[in-house]
Amino acid sequence: MRGGRRYRLLRGIVSLLVLRYLAEGEECGYGLRRRISGVLGEALPPGYIYVILKSLRGRGLLDAREGSRNGRRVVYYRITDSGMDFLLRHRGAVEAGRRAIEELTRFLEGRGGESARGDRDRHQTYWRRGARCAVPAGSPGRCAICGRPAAVRVPYANASFCEEHYPQWLERRIRRVTDRYGMFDGVRRVAVAVSGGKDSVSLLHALAGLRDDHGFEVVGIHLDLGIGDYSRASAEAARRNFEMLGVEGRIVDLRARYGFSVPEAVRAVRRPACSTCGVVKRYALEEAAEDAGADALATGHNLDDVAQFVMMGYQSGDLEGLARLRPVIPAGRHYGVRSVKPLFLIYERDLAEYARIRGLPVAGAECPLRDRTSQGFIRRKLLEIEEGMPGFMLRLVQEFADGVQPALAERYLREEDVGTCRICGRPTSKGREICSFCAIRARALGTGTVPGATG
Ligand code: AMP
Ligand code: ZN
Ligand code: ZN
């Protein structure tokens, strides 16, 4: 909301507040502005209060005297008898206003981020308010849609929801993201990569709910990475969700399909476990999506994941990597399936609440191979910033996706830079003959090392 309109709306209320403070005793314009700004949770524009004081004075509701403080000339304002009458007569109007504002608040908060643009405007008001933002900490309060006691509070949207309306609200949010970025335009069959964790399980349920609307089919894909009990529990969670929804589910055993498991690959390759696993998963998921006849592959990367990638990319100055980081990667010359991240603007915390409230079966354990890296540190720091500036990560990622990435792509993404893997025919990065997956596989199978191919 632009300042002008906002303050026109508030004008009557601020006038009454002026009289209310003056009813306690005389006060200068500066003091009134400070006290009223405190109540509103944001600084009134300078000058605004003087316009109101002048008008109240013109109506005889207050008068003024000149005094001095610390050698400076100051005007003190005082309420008159008719000012006092005026204030008391407004009791009924204030009560009616309170009810009207409650009703409006319920409606507007229910639309917490109705459009991506809307979100952005909301968050800009948070910036201006700075630390004094209007997000009350602590209890969830009442549902923004039905007014019943709320179960979840969503700080960046400054809204709360009950157990019934929270899942609906989140699903609508996801739907808006997929629509806005055209993720499923022209798509007939979506492969959802389900790890068994809360993000991808929530994604599966949300997309299953869009099947009829969008007219696409959903097929779930789970990769069994062969990481002991961890993988067994993950596969079990994935399977239970496929059954629950009645969606076709495919469980791909990495070892059966490619001859090696993730732990074997990690032992054979000198690079961080998560990075090796990431290459293997990406490759296997794309292939599985193709095998399943899908035209889109959806993964559960959430806002926190993407915010972390963005920060890490900035830190290392990896402009090509940043240029490749986008919510929709179109099908290409080497690979016929579009890749989408429908949750890239959804906070991890919101997904955890969704899975909890809907009672979805998820595998909670952390991967035992996960390496301790700077990633966790950056993530924690981002959450700290978020706490002080609700909506920070959303803005970071949204601005990146809408502004920064397209600019980088123009400069750094060239189709002709992509090579073709000599072994499997899939894409390789510039100057490489063999793709990272084939290089890892060669090492894991002990069929030799490929010079210059692995990191
Ligand atoms: P991660 O790389 O573990 O952060 O996972 C990112 C996304 O990749 C998840 O949300 C899933 O969509 C997908 N994914 C990760 N692990 C698996 C798996 N074992 N099987 C299927 N999809 C997975
Ligand atoms: Zn409700
Ligand atoms: Zn290859």
Looking at residue 122, its pLDDT comes to 40
Q: Please indicate whether residue 393 or residue 107 has the higher confidence score (pLDDT).
A: 393
Cα–Cα distance measured from residue 173 to residue 202, given in angstroms and rounded to the nearest whole number: 13
Supply the residue whose CA is at minimum distance from atom 8 of ligand 1: 299
Query: What is the average per-residue pLDDT within 350-368?
Result: 94
Whether ligand 1 lies within 6 angstroms of the CB of 300 is answered as yes
Half-sphere exposure of 177 (CA within 13 A, CB side): 28
* 45 alpha carbon – ligand 1 mean position (Å): 49
Q: What is the pLDDT of residues 153-211, one digit of tens each?
A: 999 888 999 999 999 999 999 999 999 999 999 999 999 999 999 999 999 999 999 99
Nearest to 281 by CA among 311, 318, 238, 252: 252
Residue 242 tokens, joined: 């496929």
Quote the strand ranges of 115-216, DSSP E.
152-154, 159-161, 189-193
User: Across residues 93-120, what is the average pLDDT?
Assistant: 67
- Predicted local confidence at residue 193, as pLDDT: 98
**Best residue for ligand 1 mutational test, from 225, 277, 281 (most atoms within 8 Å of Cβ):** 281
- Average pLDDT, stretch 296-312? 97
Output 137 or 290, whichever has higher pLDDT: 290
Beta-carbon contacts of 367 under 8 Å, excluding residues fewer than 6 positions away, are: 227, 230
- Residue 338, H or E segment: strand 338-340
- Beta partners for residue 193, in sequence order: 221
For residue 367, the ligand 1 atom closest to its alpha carbon is 3
| pTM (2 d.p.) | 0.71
Helix or strand or coil: residue 60? coil
Which residue's CA is the closest to the ligand 1 atom numbered 23? Answer: 195
Average pLDDT over residues 279-299: 97
For the segment 16-62, what is each residue's pLDDT rounded down to a tens digit?
A: 999 999 998 898 998 888 888 877 767 788 788 989 999 999 999 99
Map residue 359 onto helix, strand or coil: coil
Q: Which ligand is nearest to the CA of 144?
A: 2
The predicted pLDDT at position 1 comes to 41
- pLDDT in the model for residue 247: 97
* 97 band by pLDDT with thresholds 50, 70 and 90: confident
328 closest CA partner among 337, 336, 320, 340: 340
Residue 332, pLDDT score: 82
In ligand 1, which atom is closest to the CA atom of 224?
Answer: 19
Backbone angles phi, psi at 334, to 5 degrees: -95, -10
Task: Specify the range with the lowest mean pLDDT, choosing from 59-63, 128-132, 303-307.
Answer: 128-132
Average pLDDT over the chain, rounded to an integer: 88
The confidence band for 230, taking pLDDT boundaries of 50, 70 and 90, is: very high
Q: Measuring from atom 12 of ligand 1, which residue has the nearest CA?
A: 299
Does the structure show a pLDDT above 80 at 117?
A: no
pLDDT (0 to 100) of residue 4: 63
State residue 334's pLDDT score. Answer: 76
Between the alpha carbon of residue 431 and those of residues 209, 293, 310, 411, 419, the distances in Å are 43, 31, 25, 18, 7
- Summarised one tens digit per residue, pLDDT across range 318-352 is 999 999 999 999 998 778 899 999 999 999 999 99
From the CA of 193, which ligand is nearest?
1
Q: Tell me: the pLDDT tens digits for 70-90?
A: 788 889 999 999 999 999 999
Q: Is the pLDDT of residue 232 over 60?
A: yes
Q: Is residue 286 in contact with ligand 1, taking CB distance under 6 Å?
A: no
Pair of tokens at residue 109: 């908060």
**Predicted local distance difference test score (pLDDT) of residue 69:** 81
Which amino acid is residue 68, in one-letter code? S
- CA separation for the pair 237, 43 (Å, rounded): 50
Residue nearest to ligand 1 atom 3, measured at CA: 195
H/E stretch holding 302: none
pLDDT at 107 over 80: no
Q: Which ligand is nearest to the CA of 168?
A: 2
In a mutational test of the pocket of ligand 1, which residue from 190, 195, 371 has the highest number of ligand atoms less than 8 Å from its CB? 195
91-99: Cβ within 8 A, 24+ apart: 94/16, 97/13
Q: Does the pLDDT value for residue 125 go beyond 50?
A: no
Q: Which ligand is closest to the CA of 220, given by its number? A: 1
Q: Which residue has the least CA distance to atom 17 on ligand 1? A: 195
Find how far residue 183's CA is from the centre of its chain: 17
